[in-house]
Amino acid sequence: MLHHQYKTIQPGTFSDDMTVDAILYYYGNTFQKKGIELEASFSGYKSGSVDEVCIGKILMCLMETAAVIYAEEIYKAGRIVKIRGGTVQNQNVFWMECDWPADNQRHMLKEIKLCAKQCGGNAQIRKKGNRLQAEIVVMKTK
């Protein structure tokens, strides 16, 4: 009950960065309507350490990847997207994990890598069991 009350008091507060919160709040609501749980943690992310356009591109690319994957009807219950963001010294790390249905979404992996490159970073993508793990690292801009 306490957990539910906390969520109603602070809906959409994931970090101290308004851009991060707006994007995650939007996808959190969208996912919730489709029965997908969003687990987000950006407590280690330093607000403003990535250009606003880049943080938007990165987060939307990761969230859209999960949205496309979960649009397939084979996923009915227990769907969860995990996303984390953090600032470590001179780097920002963004990590996302979601289910991965075989190899029919390979074009999404190219999109993640392209997005990271456009923001001056790089992406590592791994498949762990039936889960996709994507990590994007970009240098701090401030």
Residues 17 and 58: their CA atoms lie apart, in Å, by 14
26 has pLDDT over 70: yes
Among the listed residues 25, 112, 11, the one whose alpha carbon sits nearest the alpha carbon of residue 64: 112
CATH topology of domain 2-139: Heat Shock Protein 90 (3.30.565)
73 has pLDDT over 50: yes
42 has pLDDT over 50: yes
Give the model's pLDDT for residue 109: 83
**Selection from 3-7, 8-12, 22-26, 135-139 with the highest mean pLDDT:** 135-139
Domain ranges, ordered by start, for the chain: 2-139
Residues 10 and 106: their CA atoms lie apart, in Å, by 36
pLDDT band at 6 (very low <50, low <70, confident <90, very high): very low
Give the model's pLDDT for residue 21: 86
Summarize the confidence of residues 113-118 as an average pLDDT. 94
Residues 126 and 88: their CA atoms lie apart, in Å, by 21
Tell me the whole-structure pTM to 2 decimals.
0.83
pLDDT band at 51 (very low <50, low <70, confident <90, very high): confident
């996709």: which residue's tokens? Answer: 132
Report which of residues 79 and 117 the model is more confident about.
117
Find out whether 98 and 70 touch, Cβ atoms under 8 Å. Answer: yes
* Antiparallel, parallel or unpaired: β 122-128 and 131-139: antiparallel
